[in-house]
Amino acid sequence: MNKKINLDAHLPLIAIIRGVTPEKVVAVATILIDEGFTAVEVPLNSPEALKSIKLLVDTFGENYLIGAGTVTTPELAKQVVATGANLVVTPNCNEEVIKISVAAGCATFPGIVTPTEAFNALAAGATGIKLFPISMLGLDGYKALNSVLPKGTLCYPVGGIEPTEESMRPYLEIGAAGFGLGSALYKATMSDEQIRSNARNYVAAYKACIQGH
């Protein structure tokens, strides 16, 4: 089963809902989707993560990017693919994980910091790369890395991106395609109102940056 994913149809903000439970995952994802998100990642170090991912796949179908983060081994990648997920995000560059995920038709974003990792990830077929943690690269490091990457490489900074134009714009101006958004968007302790407000602020800030281009 190789689903062809058109990333142009998606808002390039990946909601990372670490710590979400199967009891709450559909409600949380519904809030995010209502506010404009189309990509939701449940990290595998969340409680019963595979169960949550399957619930999201069954609820939202193929119109959204639904899948897993923290996919660190080929065995985990296979388990994620078995849920019907179409998004795989990793904190590291494991070429076998990338190949399994891509072969299953998943949008695949491995975590990288160095040029070696980036080129290995792309050679393995990665959809794009997750710049993680972006704090290690910083703007100057990303600018230098981007200067050697193949033109059009999709780069998503992750880690510490705030829901403001000031936080997002500098990365977008030097070539970032989107962002992965974690604890500033969602924590398991947040109320639905907090999650909704955070989601709205992120979408508004991103759109303001894009319109300003």
Task: Give the count of beta carbons closer than 10 Å to the beta carbon of residue 211.
Answer: 7
List, by residue number, the catalytic residues: 41, 130
Please tell me the distance from the alpha carbon of residue 210 to that of residue 193, in angstroms, as a whole number: 26
CA distance 110 to 11: 19
- Exposed, middle or buried, 193 (CB in 10 Å: 0-12/13-18/19+)? exposed
